[in-house]
Structure 1
């Protein structure tokens, strides 16, 4: 069955649609209010609907899939390449319509549970960022009065009582009280981060896929839950190599005249998951938990960061194999290839 391709530029209140009528060949540009958007597609034959992966796109994608339509979510970078004129809603919808017909890897349409897990990750990431900002603010303010404190949290907690006691003898009480409140806020952020991690741990115990990939060295609570929620359906990727490339864990390359030159890692795809995998790989290499000679030999002939990215690439491929083939992690498993 051939689906009619529809490009949709979603917004807060007004949605712009672009498609070509299959019967007449007429190019249709239509603007719909938010309340009439789903009603429009409820009365249509199944379509291939393309949207830019942005805020709210996952919600609309789920609703449209429930109606029997196919939905393709695309990164904004891909859509922008097809907008060659002035920026407007009709031009954006046309660019989305054109990008939908390209053979590119779409963004996975996630379930509400998967999106909720990613929301917890974003909240935790924000709390960690706030905590780091407050620690740096506290060190910076104290440095203005001649008190230098080391970067670690343990050093800050150890030094701050004595520092505040010394400064209270020559500084106004209103500043000392404010600095003490700023320091106490760190404990509040610690508790909030721990609560989020506890909720993620509960979901991980209930999810079979998370438990399966958590057995891989270097894959912990954050990596397992974020990867499963971000990937969606593992079978949407043809191989572990494609999944690793989708995460940006492969080299960029330039080639002409049959000559190919490899560059640094592409850094395409999900930055958060890629960061977690690389940090996990770095931890495995540091503690020597790789359990094989491959990583040892790699460390001898390559710089530490290159070895960490290479191991992260291998971890990503292993994650895909476990989820796509529904098998438990086996460190002694050997891949067999057809001759």
Structure 2
């Protein structure tokens, strides 16, 4: 029996469902309140439920899978071309259903609750970093108005704040500035707590520990990559994983002529940034003398930032290979003299 495909447009209060009865070809549409959605899918025979990969989609995917349904998520940019009329819930649900029928359609991986919790910690930490940067920059600006220049860099700036000459600052500002400095300390403490939680998760996960052995892959990169990747076999190869992070060249072509540009920058910017920072630290730490022959040759031929992107791509492929094939990192593995 052919499975019924349901296109579901989810929202905060109302869900719109579009499907076609396989036996008759009859088009069905249904609008449900949030509280009635689970009851509806419990009554349906196991089918294929497709949604846009938007807010709360991961949660609903995990709710419907135990009911026997095959749940798939589509990136919204692949759904948009199939909205044939004015945008509304019914048109969106129909567009999702239509997009799901396309051969070769790519789907977003459904994450476990544990993986989403790890990624949530990363998001919270990223926000705290932004708050800390804003707080520090504001202090620089405010103190600069009274002739107090803080040195560049966060650590140097914090050290200068601790030794500030309060006589040069109006008394009216003392309490407020000390509150700002206290917030900086609190932000550091909150980030340290999150990093301890991530370190605990890393120690408990064998795959994460193996990935952390790769040069340039530390606590943040290892935990974020493993949580985001999920099942490595969702990607055809290491190159496909690197491409999902936007670390492969952007190309366009016509008439048989293909032009390659910079990296595509698709996918999760945060994950790509972690790999780029890791690659940059490896190059700066090793230098040309200690770098591998491949990296030395690349640095000799191409600009520094191109080499950073290439090494980040290689790190992504290595991460995929270790996870997909259950291997440990081996320096120089696969090098042919």
1:159 maps to which residue? 160
Q: Establish whether residue 68 from structure 1 lines up as the match of residue 68 from structure 2.
A: yes
Contact kept in structure 2, 1:246 and 1:268, CA below 8 Å: yes
Equivalence for 1:234: 232
| Other structure's SS at 1:298 match | helix
Which residue of 1 is the match for residue 23 of structure 2? 23
Q: What is the total number of aligned residue pairs between the two structures?
A: 333
Q: 2:173 aligns with which of 172, 175, 178?
A: 175
For residue 31 of structure 1, give the secondary structure of its aligned residue in structure 2: strand
3-state DSSP class of the match of 1:275? helix
How many angstroms does 1:335 deviate by?
A: 7.8
Residues 123-155 of structure 1: per-residue CA shift (max 9 Å, x gap): 111111110010011111112223222331222
User: Structure 2: 5+ residue runs without aligned partners?
Assistant: none
Per the alignment, residue 11 of structure 1 pairs with 11
Aligned Cα root-mean-square deviation (Å): 1.6
Shift of residue 158 of structure 1? 2.8
Q: Secondary structure at the match of 1:288?
A: helix
Helix, strand or coil at the partner of 1:108: coil
Paired position in structure 1 for 2:273: 275
Residue 108 of structure 1 is matched in structure 2 by: 109
Partner of 1:322: 322
1:285, CA displacement in angstroms? 0.7
Runs of 4+ in 1 over 6 A off after TM superposition: none
Alignment of 1:233-252 (within 5 A): 233-252=231-250
Distance change (3 Å), C-alpha of 1:13 and 1:5? same
**TM-score, normalised to structure 2's length?**
0.95
**1:161 Cα offset (Å):** 4.3
Contact in 2 for aligned 1:149/1:159 (Cα 8 Å): yes
Q: Matches of 1:124 and 1:147 in 2, distance apart?
A: 30
Deviation at 1:291, TM superposition (A): 4.8
Cα shift at 1:196: 0.2
Contact 2:250 2:264 in 1 (8 A): yes
1:263-302 map, 5 Å: 263-288=261-286, 291-302=291-302
Cross-structure match for 1:52: 52
- Taking structure 1 as the reference length, the TM-score comes to 0.94
- Please say if 1:131 is aligned against 2:132: yes
Structure 1 partner of 2:141: 140
Equivalent-residue separation in structure 2 for 1:89 and 1:116 (angstroms): 30
Partner Cα distance (2:300, 2:291) in 1: 16
Taking structure 1 as reference, are residues 190 and 161 closer, same or farther at Cα in structure 2, changes over 3 Å only? closer
